[in-house]
Structure 1
């Protein structure tokens, strides 16, 4: 299909490092950082495409799977299986290193050479959709509603923007509570805390173990770290329509979550590294200095390879007024508006989201996004995916909005000010609400 385009204007300005979807193996940190660039574009205008050409077509699939395991699995197992089922469609896989991905993608969009389909970070979807770069899958795919209903709601929500779905979840992750069995036994704690009140009771017992013993540790006040507490306390960052922060980020519930974190630091329950000084959380956990962490599905294999003899347990996020709610990470699969082979690209999306393919990816450590996956023998027999899929039933995504990078910078700085005692919790959150309202208004 031939598509006529108006070129995209691209202005690139390197601004800041952005927290993304996985944590560094040596400590509790946000997802990997990449370069974030402010982009000003003209939204793409597309005319009705002509009929698809006869014969085989080739679609390009850009991704940032790791080269050693995931990319090889894609090229040696997944793509051959797809092409065997669809002999008229060939897939050209293009591995783009994560730290270069966003920049190369924006340049390709500017030059009219975007891929047909891509695996992108969940926080990029609103920005790309706002630029007019992505196809609306709820209009492009006739079976979209059927596919949509099969997805876990948290990962699915990362694809919704201004009334349309611009992608579907491809793989996912979340954070659950990891607890140190040796420290629990020494403190006389019989089971992991199921509620915030039980968490605080456990912290008081851990504190009695002596100086240098901490109940909990995390790497900072970015959304990946604080949002699970905000949501579990019943608070939020914005209204559901993402039009205002006032009344939400400065609500009594959100304030209670920040007060909880500040009290935890002041009382010696939470390692002071959360104030921005850094913490070797995994090392401290292994040496029985830290009793609890929030970690993702990368923790068991990576921590186990470093500390094979350390015993630990996994449990759900402690529940508060809002329930047990953690944060969603992962990647989405999208089709680009520039693609001349949208039907073929849609077939590849369907294949990647089939239960058979989703469960194949489990052997590489990728978590499936289908509701049905939890009932499969593959997951039931998996050593640790079950607890993460259970947490994903209630997990939420960080605010899906084009201005999110700037919003999170202000959120992080506000958290640091609160923990440092620079003004009251409410004063800081009221200022944050005003700042976020301005960002939301300017992006509408």
Structure 2
């Protein structure tokens, strides 16, 4: 497996943070701190999404007490927030210099706040960081990177796999979910005229389209994040999107994918038999168990193209803020989050582990996790840049006309690549 040092050697050195002065304005100063002195670490997160949950109960009643017992003199004060409100709180607090020591950050926020100088660089700073980084799924570590360095460690993860409805597969005369692009096309042909869509998805963001592009052998940018042109509009990337466009234009994918809010959602369309397959994550298991108790989802890898079967990484990271005055104590808690006790404790509460070594034990907790753990072996991160939200807007805007037949897939991806080039240039 590629090591941290190997990954870092691929980054281009691009200079200092553009907006690191935020810390000066906020009066924040990073201090080494000492775990030998009594300290209290403030930890912001969204485990309960603003309320009580099994995850917050495990954290507050089992895991934090275990950490405090093993580390006398360090207390952890966990503050739960609504998911939608945490980023706003983080933004306003950074400007006012009132940040916590630790944050459970959405992976999409890491590059943005690293650029602003809010999150602390961990590689080269935190003891044993390289060993900890080498122990997680490579795709999850990618989500913590920015400007050649790492600003957190993966805390929990997820990915999308193909989920199928067996009755819909039976209607097409196939026994198993499609394992390849060609088998997905065959499934669509077998369902033609039967009122069942072969596949459905709810958008054209990177979360939606990158599994198809990567699996076709394409990519969104070069490894050094300097250009999208030549990658997003390559023949391989075009082939991945063309598969979806062809199926859409043949009526095998509903217009939910292009933004029709009146279409049946994937969460309802799959168990009802309206859709044969979708891409989704492990959180759906409990949702379907409550809403569709007679439905048994079938989990399978993303259909493989010339690039293999590759999906996209989701989840959260654990980060240390530059405002902390107790860096050493914060590092100890970050290291604890990577332990078997923490990772499997949260797995029992519905969070997937970021470490392959715990995958088998996690599958004993819930067997359906196995399909997701297997997919995580090759899953990749979306572009780790501060403008990731703009990338999603570009992809949606440019790809919808291709699905509607107004432009070719090549033209759509070329237009998107040029706009993404401009975003990448801002970070050089």
Stretch of structure 1 that moved more, 390-399 or 93-102 = 93-102
TM-superposed deviation, 1:74? 1.3
Alignment of 1:352-391 (within 5 A): 352-376=337-361, 378-380=362-364, 382-391=366-375
1:207 aligns with one of 169, 172, 192: 192
Q: What residue number does 2:426 align with? A: 442
Q: What residue number does 1:185 align with? A: 170
Contact 1:403–1:443 (CA under 8 A) maintained in structure 2: no
1:101 aligns with 2:86: yes
TM-score normalised by length of structure 2: 0.90
1:245 aligns with one of 207, 228, 243: 228
Contact 1:64–1:119 (CA under 8 A) maintained in structure 2: yes
TM-score normalised by length of structure 1: 0.87
- Tell me the secondary structure at the aligned position of residue 60 of structure 1: strand
C-alpha RMSD of the superposition = 1.8
- Aligned-partner Cα distance in 1 for 2:141–2:20: 26
Q: What residue number does 2:294 align with? A: 309
TM-superposed deviation, 1:183? 1.5
1:139 aligns with 2:121: no
- Aligned-partner Cα distance in 2 for 1:50–1:363: 34
- Aligned-partner Cα distance in 2 for 1:40–1:139: 21
- Tell me the secondary structure at the aligned position of residue 299 of structure 2: strand
What do residues 324-344 of structure 1 show as CA deviations (whole Å, max 9, x unaligned)? 001100000001111000000
1:173 aligns with 2:188: no
Contact 1:213–1:288 (CA under 8 A) maintained in structure 2: yes
TM-superposed deviation, 1:403? 1.5
1:42 aligns with 2:21: yes
- Aligned-partner Cα distance in 1 for 2:346–2:127: 26
Q: What residue number does 1:20 align with? A: none
1:423 aligns with one of 407, 412, 417: 407
Contact 2:348–2:365 (CA under 8 A) maintained in structure 1: no
TM-superposed deviation, 1:283? 2.1
Q: Judging changes above 3 Å, is the alpha-carbon distance between structure 1 residues 269 and 48 closer, same or farther for their aligned structure 2 residues?
A: closer
Contact 1:297–1:388 (CA under 8 A) maintained in structure 2: yes
Contact 1:379–1:385 (CA under 8 A) maintained in structure 2: yes
Aligned residues: 403
Q: Judging changes above 3 Å, is the alpha-carbon distance between structure 1 residues 47 and 76 closer, same or farther for their aligned structure 2 residues?
A: closer
Contact 2:44–2:80 (CA under 8 A) maintained in structure 1: yes
1:264 aligns with 2:247: yes
- Tell me the secondary structure at the aligned position of residue 58 of structure 1: strand
- Tell me the secondary structure at the aligned position of residue 339 of structure 1: coil
Q: Judging changes above 3 Å, is the alpha-carbon distance between structure 1 residues 320 and 120 closer, same or farther for their aligned structure 2 residues?
A: same
Q: Judging changes above 3 Å, is the alpha-carbon distance between structure 1 residues 53 and 349 closer, same or farther for their aligned structure 2 residues?
A: closer
1:398 aligns with 2:373: no
Relative to its length, the structure with more strand (as a share) is: 1
TM-superposed deviation, 1:286? 2.3
- Aligned-partner Cα distance in 2 for 1:89–1:327: 36
1:197 aligns with 2:182: yes
Q: Judging changes above 3 Å, is the alpha-carbon distance between structure 1 residues 53 and 159 closer, same or farther for their aligned structure 2 residues?
A: closer
1:254 aligns with 2:237: yes
- Aligned-partner Cα distance in 2 for 1:50–1:388: 38
**Structure 1 unaligned residues grouped into runs of 5+:** 1-38
Contact 1:220–1:273 (CA under 8 A) maintained in structure 2: yes
1:234 aligns with one of 202, 217, 221: 217
Contact 1:380–1:386 (CA under 8 A) maintained in structure 2: no
2:260 aligns with one of 262, 273, 277: 277
What do residues 52-98 of structure 1 show as CA deviations (whole Å, max 9, x unaligned)? 48531101000011233222221111111111111210001111211
TM-superposed deviation, 1:44? 3.4
- Aligned-partner Cα distance in 1 for 2:394–2:128: 40
Stretch of structure 1 that moved more, 304-313 or 276-285 = 276-285
**Structure 2 unaligned residues grouped into runs of 5+:** 1-17
1:219 aligns with one of 202, 222, 226: 202
Q: What residue number does 2:396 align with? A: 412
Contact 1:262–1:418 (CA under 8 A) maintained in structure 2: yes
Q: What residue number does 1:16 align with? A: none
Alignment of 1:91-130 (within 5 A): 91-130=76-115
